[in-house]
Structure 1
Amino acid sequence: MQAEVNDILEKSLQKAREHDRTGNVGKAYAYYTIVAELSPAKRSEIEETFTDVLCEWGIQLAEDHRFSDVVRCYKHSLDIYPNSSRMLNNFAAHLLRNNDPIRAIEYLKRALKIDLNFLPAERNLQNAYSMAVDRWHFTMLNDKWRNSAFEQAIHKRIRQGYDTVLDVGTGTGLLSLYAKDAGATKVYTCECSEAMMLIAQEVFESNNAADIKLIPKLSFDLKIPTDIPERVKLIVTETFDAGLFGELVVPSMINVHMNILDSNGMVIPMGATIYAAAIECEYIRYRSSVVFDKVKDYCPLNFNNVSVLSDDEYYDTENLEKVQINYITEPQVLFNINFNDLLELQEFCKDGIKQMLQTKCKYDGTVDGLVTWFKLHLDEEITLDSSDGKSCWQLAVFPAMPINCHGGDILTIKAEMSKSKLKCSFSTDNARSNENCKFLYRLPKEVIVFLNDFNYVKMLTEIGRYQESREIKYILDTSPFPIYGLTLLKEHKDSEILYYKTDNPTLRFLIEQVARDSGLQGKVYMVSNYDEIPCPLDSILVHNFDIKGELKDDQDSCYEIFRHLLKPNGVLLPEKIFLVGQLVYSEDLPNMVYVKDANLQRSSCSSNTPICFNTNLASENDSHIQINTANKESKSTNYVIAEYINRYKINQIFDLNSSLYSCEIISDAQILIEINETETTEAVMNFGKINGVNTTLPNSLVCWYKIQLSSDHVHDTRKNESFMNHIAIVFEDELRDVILRDKEVKIKIHQMKGLIKITVLNL
């Protein structure tokens, strides 16, 4: 009997290896599974290959939309290898791609329990937390002005008799808690996010509010009497984005008016006023359109007939509080909207133009686009202003191709609704265009910020122009726009062919036009996969950088390109990449990653008080919240919410630039570690002792990269005009505890193929 089993094992292993070698990973997986099931003794021997084959097979199944088979294969494989951190992480990655972060978190925690320093699982866990709970929940809940304003508005309406409540999109349940404490006889709440629903359930139980009925549905799917026994008297909601309507606010309002709200009921907020202005702002200009004037000064390529603008369909969101911005026109009211008027909402919801207005330019300048903001009228007296720097909302930015204007020129601003979202644009007969372009290309932001990073592009151009005297015929450039490779073709007499890769047809047309206009026809080839390149390469520029501030975690790694494509004596750029860090103190950064219960205060109002306003709610000159009535002093307590939503907190913040936060620099910038995409490495950076007496203590480490293209060309991505934003690691109490114990601040950096984990050594 054992001899027969051994024969089956030997044949199955042979077939598994043959199918793996020929690329038939489905059959290879089936035969490896037979081996692992029949022979526990061989499991460790084949585990690595088994996991590789399962990974490839899972990818193929996912590409064929066979997700149920992906789940079946991974679950069966994990029964065999329950302690495989790679397998657990790969399965979680499939779950994330299938928009199932809650289940992914379970498997990622298992992977990290097995191997605490398995950084792919650590990074995916951060992604899973961000998918499960959108990061704006944290800044929103930490906006104590917003919270207090909604509390007071809800108290007022309930005391006026609107005492049955539906909270639409409850999130953590904060507004529902306000309604219950204000004396509502019944509070219903709906939430479609699985993670937020679980959080709200725990929040209600911990705050003695288990009688709030939590309905796991979109408001569009609520029915009477199935979900709610009768129409309610008050709707409360805070589902607004920077453009006010981005979260399908108007269709949601129409639905609750028609199906849920009593005919004499009310909605909080009562309405909104939307404002717009034309602006001049270099920061917006360089993030929204390519300014070729500076590139032309040192680049041999011909960009004369092209113009590039962002491909954002609607608007971007920006905090411009710390950015130089000039208002070319005075702010204008675009329109008012009444959330308590069903007919007005139905008319407003239709696609089409909602406003055309004319406004005069105040002075000579450059118009870089429009910004809009809103005042949210919670009731007749309480208004929140999204343009204030304290607000959890940012400005909505509608970029445009920069145009010159003169004082007195008339701009026509057009506002329209499209698919329930706001779109704004402007036109003028008198404006003078900075570019007389024949072709306009709309491209992703990564291409725009790359071409606008003049220092980096200049370095690439210089290296391409003054490459060493070696023969360079065949080139691969993986950057968002292959300016290095094109310069080599243009300036280096031996260069013959440039290969590049893109899935964006518009970008391909742009590259082809610039190549054609620069006299490089027939020398530029696009590939869908790098294995299509038929010959060894003399030079490769690996642009493995994500504009949000990290290295890309994909299969086209520097190691793979080097191993398969580069000649033994070929040129590989960059030569080295270093991670740099600097200790800072910031009030803003912690608000982005975890919630503080102190920002979730509630007022203790006596039953005979018609309305209670917290004296800290607003000052006379505070434009973020305006209350047109006398304030009355009251005591405050906090809800227990933070501990539940903070289960989904992250400690790394990506996509940062100086416009998003304020900070006080505590230490010098230090090189933390050299990035090695082929190995796992560790390092410890000692920032020394920091005086803990009468000194601001650091709470974050801001990180960025030094890219050594060559020994003479080093690029620092910390600058705002860099093609990369930077990241921050936020520490709650770890740094403070070390400093107050009069210890040296030591930071441990763990690096695994470009992925980073940073911890404080608490010795």
Structure 2
Amino acid sequence: MNADVKDIVEKSLKKAQEHDKSRNVGKAYAYYTAVAELCPSKRKQIENEFTNVLCEWGMQLAFQNRHQDVLLCYQRSLDIFPTNARMLCNFAAHLLKNDNPEKAIVYLKRALKIEPTFLPAERNLQNAYSMVVDRWHFPMLNDKIRNSAFERAIRKFVAKGYNIVLDVGAGTGLLSLYAKDAGAEKVYACEYSLVMAKIAKKVFECNNAPNIKLIPKLSSDLRIPDDISERIKLVVTETFDAGLFGELIVPSMIDVHLNLLDYNQKGIIVPGSATLYIAGVECEHIRNRSSVIFSKIKDICSINFEHISVVSEDEFYDTENLENVCITYLTEPQELLKINFNNLLELQELNKDGVKAIMHAKCVCNGIMDGLVAWFKLHLDNEITIDSSYGKSCWQHAVFPSVPKVCNQKDIIVVTAKMLNGKLKCTYNTREKAYNNDKESVIAMTKEFITFLNDFEYIKLLSQMSDSYKDKNLPNVMDLSPFPIFGLLLLKNNKYCDNLYYVTDSSVLKSLILKVVNDNNMKGSLHFYSNFDQIPCKMDIILMHNFDIKGELKDWGQESYQEFFRDLLKPSGILLPQEVYFMGQLIYSEDLPKMVYVKDINLQNTSSDDSNSDKNSNQECAKNEICERYRIAKFINEYKIDQVFDLNSSLYMCHPLSDAQIMTQIVDGVQESAVTFRSIDMKNNESLPNALVCWYKVKLTNEYIYSTNRINSFMNHMAVIFEDDSQNVMPKAADIKIKIRQMNGLISVKVISN
């Protein structure tokens, strides 16, 4: 290196460090880049500082919506440091935020090849898999009843001469395989998702079906003869969500009629029709996830919330598994809509925006109407029907929530069904008053906000804790909860509390908090900020709330998360919660594995006759033949995950096989530990554990402790699903050891052999 270049490098390094120290990361990044490019021998020396600056600069650029600059900075940096796992992972995180999961997967796999135990890359890879392959594919493919019904229907129609088949929304291509195996002359499969199309291509090759023509397009973009050579005799599709119409099945089938179906040969669509059913229900589970009636808080909290109700901001409907929750049908289930997919005029009429049905339903008992639940029957033909209300169906119920209303027996509920942009919206009304006050204002908020305020046990705990601080000298308070109950209680009841600081960009939430402050005549001042850098003073007490409603900590992987908030405190300030513990319990569940991986045995129609099989053959051989007929699992399971979030007791059944115990304490930094679950009594249990259910134990203070593993918790829980090889290291009647790796709140769990 000549003297001039050496001088430039030294000056650039000094400038980079100066700008880094003053947090001018954009200029620091530019100078560090110059050093790294001009003097490769210094790269190892500056790599950590370079990475820190790049990551911070990338976040600032993203905040300014300069996404192309983010990509350029990371690509340039990775040319310099191609084996930096953190850099690769953070670049992938930006790609995920910009809806490019396929490219993100490439960088995440590179990161894990370099550093196999890098937890942020593991977690981001699972996020990427969930983005490129929707999770509903797994329970759908594991639904034996659905699969069997479609196979039988397809076989029947192909046998009747409907032998030119189009599979709309083919996914993995299972229905296409059914058609090919049934003897169809030609099979076309269209699938818009490029990842799913790649999976289908591998599936067809593996199942000796290379003649199935795979077209990576929407059905509405198919053209004759460019994409398919002739009109179609049989269209098969399973593009239905819990509310039947959510995946735009109606406009899709209209286009099929107009452009693809063979009218001369009386081409048909399977399913031929569908019936939608609806009922009014009382269900505390629905109520606590879709609305807040503040009058119920007055017995546990001294804040006045008069004349306010909150409902979910979801515009159409939510989906819920109601099999495992307490529910009372206040009206008899009734048919709301019936649609014939083989009638073009009927489809076109249904597709127009507006009211499609009005139903009058009589209440059969007294109760509180929490909303409407809907389900459907798919009539594949005149004999074969799939019922989505069946308990183990891959479809959940569609829920149309509303402000709870008191209903009496024999009251008439008027249900109105509307179509809007191809989707269904159902509302109802009565002459009765709302649950607490018919003059209240109704505010639409997020589900996180609603779930938090409906966790009455936690609200009660916060109220009791605020009483313990009532006489403490706490002039400046910060509460980072979805709604600052604790901070507002201090502002109201602590004579020394002058200021409450709250960080949010939501104008609706700001208005609601201000209304509560005014209604309660709070004398202190309320301060809103959009980010922490704007806060002008140190706090006397901070209540953190980095719990995500789906079951994990927010901002996982962020270094020194607690240290960041400690820096906002006065030297004698109080940071809550004091400690957080990660809890676990071994279970066996048939439901959970079906959410994350597919088994080929679930794809077969074991009840149908197979004309190619010898009825007198050995049953075990026949079973093996059935198992091998359709092979899909290998290809879609490339995108399986082992952690399932956003779980609650309604979503699955399980058998506890151990006591609950502390797995680890959540700390800043990297930590490894192991925990032993004592030997499992196998006398009454035929199966070994196949999952570990996990939640958090929140120690606000020594006196106030809360567990998130409870019904109506503000936070759902998660589960780690064990691989088959993990179960192989679990000998019966032996202790089971679990290894826990933690990185700034991000957790990885693995079964280890004794």
TM-score category, normalised to shorter length: over 0.9
Q: Distance in 2 between matches of 1:350 and 1:557?
A: 54
Amino acid at match of 2:180: K
1:257 matched to which residue of 2?
257
Within 1, Cα distance between the matches of 2:124 and 2:260? 40
Structure 1 counterpart of 2:528: 526
1:217-247 deviation per Cα after TM superposition (whole angstroms, max 9, x unaligned): 1122211211112211111111111001111
Q: Which residue of 1 aligns with 2:70?
A: 70
Deviations 1:468-518 (A, max 9, x none): 743100011000000000000111110000011222222211111111101
Displacement of 1:607 in angstroms is 6.5
Q: Deviations over 1:401-450 (max 9, x none)?
A: 11111111111001111121111111112456433343111111111111
1:451-483 C-alpha deviation (Å, 9 max, x unpaired): 111111111111112217431000110000000
Q: Counterpart of 2:222?
A: 222
Name the counterpart of 1:213.
Answer: 213
Greater mean alpha carbon deviation, residues 5-14 or residues 645-654: 5-14
Contact 1:176/1:187, CA 8 A, preserved across alignment: yes
Q: CA RMSD in A?
A: 2.1
Q: Are residues 1:535 and 2:525 paired?
A: no
Aligned ranges 1:62-101 → 2 under 5 Å: 62-101=62-101
Equivalent residue number for residue 436 of structure 2: 434
Distance 2:191 2:323 in 1: 32
Contact 2:404–2:434 (CA<8 Å) still a contact in 1? no
- Alignment partner of 2:362 out of 348, 355, 360: 360
* Deviation by residue 1:671-691 (Cα, 9 ceiling, x = unmatched): 110011x22122211012234
Q: Is the 8 A contact 1:580 1:705 kept in 2?
A: yes
Determine helix, strand or coil for the equivalent of 1:276: strand
Q: 1:521 to 1:491 in 2, by over 3 A?
A: closer
Q: Kindly indicate whether the alpha-carbon contact (under 8 Å) linking 1:307 and 1:435 is maintained by their aligned counterparts in 2.
A: no
Aligned to 1:648: 639
Amino acid at match of 1:570: G
Judge which range, 314-323 or 222-231, deviates more. Answer: 222-231
Aligned 8 A contact 2:415 2:428 in 1? yes
In the alignment, which residue of structure 1 is the partner of 2:489? 487
C-alpha change, 1:470 and 1:389, in structure 2 (3 Å) is same
SS at match of 2:700: strand
Work out the CA distance in 2 between the residues paired with 1:482 and 1:61.
31
Cα distance in 2 for partners of 1:495, 1:430 equals 43
Instruction: Return the letter of the residue paired with 1:720.
Output: I
2:563 and 2:226 map into 1 onto residues whose CA distance is: 57
Secondary structure (helix, strand or coil) at the match of 1:82 reads coil
Contact 1:734/1:760 (CA < 8 Å) preserved in 2? Answer: no
Task: Give the structure 1 partner of residue 392 of structure 2.
Answer: 390
SS of aligned partner of 2:292:
coil
Give 2:745's aligned residue. Answer: 754
CA contact (8 A) 2:405 2:432 kept: no
Structure 1 residue ranges without an equivalent (≥5): 617-632
Alignment partner for residue 597 of structure 1, among 587, 596, 600?
A: 600
Is contact 2:354–2:418 with CA below 8 Å preserved after alignment? yes
Deviation of the 1:564 alpha carbon: 2.8
**Equivalent residue, structure 1, for 2:671:** 681
User: Secondary structure of the residue that 1:79 maps to in structure 2?
Assistant: helix
AA in 1 matched with 2:710: K
1:572 aligns with 2:575: yes
Structure 1 equivalent of residue 7 of structure 2 = 7
C-alpha separation between the residues in 2 aligned to 1:388 and 1:450?
A: 31
Q: CA deviation at 1:169?
A: 1.0
Gap change, CA 1:433 and 1:562, over 3 Å in 2: closer
How far is 1:744 from its partner?
Answer: 2.2
CA shift, 1:68, in A, is 3.6
SS at match of 1:636: helix
Shift of 1:179: 0.7
Kept in 1: contact 2:277–2:334 (CA 8 A): yes
Cα pair 2:310 2:450 within 8 Å, conserved: yes
Q: Which moved more, 1:633-642 or 1:403-412?
A: 633-642
For 1:658, the aligned partner's letter is S
1:323 aligns with 2:325: yes
C-alpha distance in 1 between matches for 2:433 and 2:502: 38
Matching of residue 702 in structure 1 with residue 693 in structure 2: yes
Please tell me whether residue 730 in structure 1 is matched to residue 721 in structure 2.
yes
- Pick one of 648, 651, 670 that aligns with 1:657: 648
> Does 2:335 align with 1:333?
yes
Q: Which amino acid aligns with 2:258?
A: M
Counterparts of 1:435 and 1:707, CA distance in 2: 35
Number of residue pairs aligned between Structure 1 and Structure 2: 741
The residue type paired with residue 641 of structure 1 is: I
| Deviation sequence 1:550-595 (CA, Å, 0-9, x none) | 1002669742542431111111110110011000000000000110
Contact 1:734 1:762 in 2 (8 A): no
Amino acid at match of 1:730: I
Aligned pairs for 1:496-511 (under 5 A) are 496-511=498-513
Q: Which residue of 1 aligns with 2:247?
A: 247
TM-score by length of 1: 0.94
Q: TM-score, normalized by length of structure 2?
A: 0.95
Identity of aligned residues (%): 58
Deviations 1:74-123 (A, max 9, x none): 22211211111110001101111121111111111111122222111111
How far 1:731 moved relative to its partner? 0.6
Give me the whole-angstrom Cα distance separating, in 2, the residues matched to 1:598 and 1:575: 49
Write out aligned runs for 1:186-205 (5 A). 186-205=186-205
Partner residue of 1:690?
680
191-200 or 706-715, which deviates more: 191-200
Q: For the residues of structure 2 that align with 1:735 and 1:199, how far apart are their CA atoms?
A: 26
